């Protein structure tokens, strides 16, 4: 009899429940580049780790199960996963993207692959009319982040999926911020889900990883071919680190989200803060929609200060919170998007979005929340 397992149980045990050959509870790190054949045309199923490795396979299958997909593919970084998706297209193809998204994604589409003839249009994907108006005869896909980075804009995945279906387009959703614990885009109509596994999946700021999850066998086969051919594959050790991180994903996210809401409310009530961008605040524009399509709000927020001079003061004076790029780890990080994650976004887009010299982003960790609030309070000053 097959027992239906919950998210938490799959996360803790993985799809295999450990190593069936030895009984090891912690799935082994198969630190091998190549595998011996038992004879001519008699492979063990593993030939060369760029093609597949048992540790990476366990990680991929575990994430696929959590995300509700048929298969997942592990990459060396999140950007490598996005690059593999781009390689599904050819010169002359057109892709529509969220205008508020990770700066590295923007750079890939607007610079690197523009040189190869790929066309990209960045629109406000919270407005379905803008999406439809951007569709051309050569449009092949839509790429969205929700909540977006760093302004936390929420896009209606089901509505965009319907547009994609009507126009025979692929829908790619970057689910890094909420992870499959809080949001499952495939169940809402997405064709491909992307993760920067460096962030919440790994959860400890000690690895680089990226993942693609999909249901369509043709898409998966094409992506696996790209994956093996381009070589940006997830290493056995980093695969194991992601597996370890996933075991506590639900616990870390729940605690971090709890902290984030308290920090958001503190900032929202501070007279020196102009606005807080957090999906978990009931007065935030995307709050109701996010509740409709997700089970959580995540652990990332942005906030705008009233006085620009306060930026340097905060960044120089936080003690518990670390001034560093990235997000999704157990430690709380503060980032200055205009000079860090979004430095290469064109000025006109940054200005329209509000990514300016007054904006900071927080990735809230699992420390004692009073320590985090006191740290911010001291850094902001009276």
CA atoms within 13 A on the CB side of 21: 4
Under a CB-based contact definition with an 8 Å cutoff, are residues 276 and 267 in contact? Answer: yes
How many whole angstroms separate alpha carbon 269 and alpha carbon 262? Answer: 11
Catalytic residue among 174, 191, 238, 375: 174
Residue 4 designated active-site: no
Q: What is the 3-state secondary structure (H, E, C) of 74-99?
A: EECCHHHHHHHHHCCCCCCCEEEEEC
How many whole angstroms separate alpha carbon 75 and alpha carbon 232? Answer: 6
Catalytic residue among 30, 99, 100, 102: 102
Residue 216 designated active-site: no
Under a CB-based contact definition with an 8 Å cutoff, are residues 71 and 222 in contact? Answer: no
Residue 174 designated active-site: yes
Under a CB-based contact definition with an 8 Å cutoff, are residues 140 and 118 in contact? Answer: no
Catalytic residue among 56, 140, 153, 199: 199
Catalytic residue among 5, 50, 304, 313: 50
Residue 199 designated active-site: yes
| Sheet with 333-335, edge to edge strand ranges | 273-277, 300-305, 359-363, 333-335, 322-323
The catalytic site residues sit at 50, 102, 174, 199
């Amino acid at each position: 009899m097959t027992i239906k397992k919950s998210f938490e149980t799959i996360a803790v045990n993985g799809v295999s429940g450990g190593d069936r050959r030895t009984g090891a509870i912690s799935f082994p790190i198969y630190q091998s580049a190549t595998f011996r054949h038992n004879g001519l045309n008699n492979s063990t199923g593993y030939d060369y780790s760029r093609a597949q490795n048992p540790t990476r396979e366990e990680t991929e299958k575990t994430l696929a199960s959590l995300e509700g997909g048929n298969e997942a593919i592990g990459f060396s970084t999140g950007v490598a996963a996005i690059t593999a998706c781009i390689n599904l297209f050819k010169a002359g193809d057109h892709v529509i993207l969220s205008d508020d998204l990770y700066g590295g994604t923007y750079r890939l589409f607007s610079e690197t692959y523009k040189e190869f003839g790929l066309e990209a249009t960045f629109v406000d994907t919270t407005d379905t009319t803008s999406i439809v108006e951007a569709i051309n005869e050569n449009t092949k896909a839509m790429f969205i982040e929700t909540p977006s980075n760093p302004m936390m804009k929420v896009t209606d995945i089901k509505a965009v999926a319907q547009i994609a279906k009507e126009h025979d387009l692929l829908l790619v959703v970057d689910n890094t911020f909420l992870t499959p614990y809080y949001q499952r885009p495939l169940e809402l109509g997405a064709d491909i889900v992307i993760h920067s596994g460096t962030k919440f999946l790994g959860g400890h700021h000690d690895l680089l990883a990226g993942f693609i999850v999909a249901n369509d066998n043709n898409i998966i086969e094409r992506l696996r071919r790209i994956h093996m051919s381009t070589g940006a594959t997830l290493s056995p050790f980093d695969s194991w680190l992601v597996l370890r991180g996933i075991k506590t994903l639900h616990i870390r996210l729940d605690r971090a989200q709890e902290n984030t809401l308290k920090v958001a409310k503190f900032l929202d009530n501070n007279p020196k803060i102009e606005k807080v961008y957090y999906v978990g605040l009931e007065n935030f524009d995307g709050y109701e929609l996010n509740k409709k399509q997700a089970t959580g709000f995540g652990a990332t927020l942005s906030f705008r200060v009233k006085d620009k001079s306060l930026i340097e003061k905060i960044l120089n004076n936080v003690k518990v919170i670390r001034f560093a790029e990235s997000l999704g780890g157990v430690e709380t990080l503060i980032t200055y998007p205009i000079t860090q994650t979004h430095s290469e976004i064109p000025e006109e887009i940054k200005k329209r979005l509000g990514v300016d010299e007054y904006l900071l982003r927080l990735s809230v960790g699992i420390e004692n929340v009073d320590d985090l609030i006191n740290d911010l309070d001291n850094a902001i000053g009276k």
